[in-house]
Amino acid sequence: MSRLNMDPLLSFHDGSHLVMSTQCSKEGSFSCALYTVLISADDGAAFRIISSHLEAQTCLRAQAIAYEHALHLYPQRSDMKQPPYLIWHGPRS
């Protein structure tokens, strides 16, 4: 999926965003990872992973666990978007 499916949880003062990737394993469980991303004027993007391997049996639960983890990382932010989020598989390698 393209970057168009990134659904920011929140935006920072420097113009970067907190985003979440969601993946489904072959075993049927779901995992999420949190990233910060700064998109440049030429549509390039700089990603930095914040945390990964936030897993659950359902997509929504994995996203909820990642959301709770993000709240723990950024407790001062009351404007964080709650799940569900668009499915985004993460940055291209």
pLDDT tens figures, 71-85: 999 999 999 999 999
Residue with structure tokens 């990642």?
66
Q: How many CB atoms lie within 10 A of CB 61?
A: 16
E strands, 1-93, in order: 10-11, 17-24, 30-39, 45-56
Predicted pLDDT of residue 40: 86
Verify cis geometry, omega within 30 degrees of 0, for the bond prior to 8. Answer: no
pLDDT band at residue 42 under the 50/70/90 scheme: confident
Is residue 2 over pLDDT 60?
A: no
- pTM: predicted TM-score of the whole model, two decimal places: 0.89
pLDDT band at residue 1 under the 50/70/90 scheme: very low
| C-alpha span between 28 and 21 (Å, rounded) | 16
